[in-house]
Amino acid sequence: MKKILMMVAAMMLTAASYGQNGNTFWLGADISGTTELEAQGAKLYNAKGEIRENTALMHELGLNAVRLRVWLNPRGGWSGAQDVLEMAKRARYYGMAVMVDFHYSDWWADPGKQTIPGQWQYLAFGEMKQKLWEHTHDVLKLLKDNCIDVKWVQVGNETTHGFLWPTARAEENMENYATLTETGYQAVKSVYPDAKVIVHLDGGCDQKRYDFIFDGLKKYGAHWDMIGLSVYPYWDVDAKLEKNWQGTVRDFAANIRHLYEKYGSECMVVETGAEVKKPDEGKKIMSAVINAAMNDCGGHCHGVFYWAPELEGQYPLGAFQNHRPTAIMDAFTEAAAKMKQ
């Protein structure tokens, strides 16, 4: 009887562990700009009008993860290593998982610009490779030395055309891009062996751009653990990739199924957003994105992260008005509540 009880207890422990670590669906936000907003004197409030620090507010809304970008030598230090550490400590306090997003630039990196950091501009390729390894390693080592558990690391941000242009522009030198991606991968594993390394592209509805990049990375021997997608119905319609938001939702889910079938890759929506001036429609869109990620991807999408929900006045796809969350964020709160049922 004692042996049977021990076996049952072991099975229950295994099931509990799997439920926490294997099946967790992540609801997150990129709140990298929080400390700069604070320095500008901005205040954030919950729906009741109570003042909240941004990490606390995201946690209150039901989110269980944050995403933090890293710039190499940024103006004012915002999104530099120490700033990332400060935000990671806040996430740790609330028990939220941490994703680190290396831009490999001194400022924004995205499909339209992947500017080499000033300190690296005149380096030979071998020297740039070494600097990329050191930068990736050193930032992560700082976090690990401060007891931050990093769950995911992006090696590049929206690298649809590669990064560190022109050295590693994918259309012109896929081999360099793959080599530097592999360098980043190995640097991550040297500090956090269990962290999932993400390669992140935009236009999550567009299968062709994903095939181009991941065929190239595979050809030249680069590794990745997870594929990150940006899913923005607003931008897809603007770029004429889709006719409506329903098309984006349908096609990003189909793309995730395709990426698993072709590459065996698990996926995550690491950026999404909806038009803040239409909050009710935005909530409907975000609910559809989250539902598709959870239920229409064959179990191969593991989370959805909203990009800069707190950002107002500079960007059309935030999720706050008057420094308070709009109905858009209710999609996350409601999804989190359903996950607990």
pLDDT tens string 216-248:
999 999 999 999 999 999 999 999 999 999 999
Q: What's the topology of domain 29-340? A: TIM Barrel (3.20.20)
Dist. CA 134–CA 323, nearest whole Å: 38
101: β partners: 69, 154
What's the whole-number mean pLDDT along residues 201-212?
98
So what's the pLDDT on residue 14?
33
Q: Which of 237, 300, 312, 305 is nearest to 273 (CA)?
A: 305
Indicate whether 10 pLDDT > 60.
Answer: no
Angle in degrees, CA 279, 59, 285, rounded to 5: 25
Exposure letters 204-241 (e unless 16+ CB within 10 A, then b): bbbbebbebbbebbeeeebbbbbbbbbbbbbbbeeeeb
So what's the pLDDT on residue 9?
35
Q: What values do phi and psi take at 263, rounded to 5?
A: -115, -5
Q: What is the dihedral of CA 269, 310, 308, 77, to 10 degrees?
A: -140
Q: Residue 145 corresponds to which tokens in the numbers above? A: 């030395």
Is it true that the peptide bond before 325 is cis, omega within 30 degrees of 0?
no
Q: Which of 184, 144, 150, 180 is nearest to 163 (CA)?
A: 180
What's the whole-number mean pLDDT along residues 100-118?
98
DSSP secondary structure code for residue 24 in this structure: P
What's the whole-number mean pLDDT along residues 133-139?
98
So what's the pLDDT on residue 22?
52
Dist. CA 202–CA 160, nearest whole Å: 6
Q: Which of 130, 128, 183, 129 is nearest to 155 (CA)?
A: 183
Query: 43-92 pLDDT, tens per residue?
Result: 999 999 999 999 999 999 999 999 999 999 999 999 999 999 999 999 99
Q: CA dist 40 to 37, 43, 88, 95, 333, Å?
A: 5, 9, 20, 27, 28
- Extents of the domains making up the chain: 29-340
What's the whole-number mean pLDDT along residues 203-219?
98
Indicate whether 255 pLDDT > 90.
Answer: yes
Indicate whether 328 pLDDT > 80.
Answer: yes
| Confidence grade of residue 314 (pLDDT, cut at 50, 70, 90) | confident
| Confidence grade of residue 114 (pLDDT, cut at 50, 70, 90) | very high
Q: What percent of the chain has pLDDT over 70?
A: 94
What's the whole-number mean pLDDT along residues 296-321?
97
Q: Which of 329, 270, 288 is nearest to 54 (CA)?
A: 329
Indicate whether 1 pLDDT > 70.
Answer: no
With 0-12 / 13-18 / 19 or more C-beta atoms within 10 angstroms meaning exposed / middle / buried, residue 187 is: buried
What's the whole-number mean pLDDT along residues 147-176?
98
Query: 277-302 pLDDT, tens per residue?
Result: 999 999 999 999 999 999 999 999 99
Q: In this structure, which amino acid lies at residue 16?
A: A
Averaged confidence pLDDT in the chain: 94
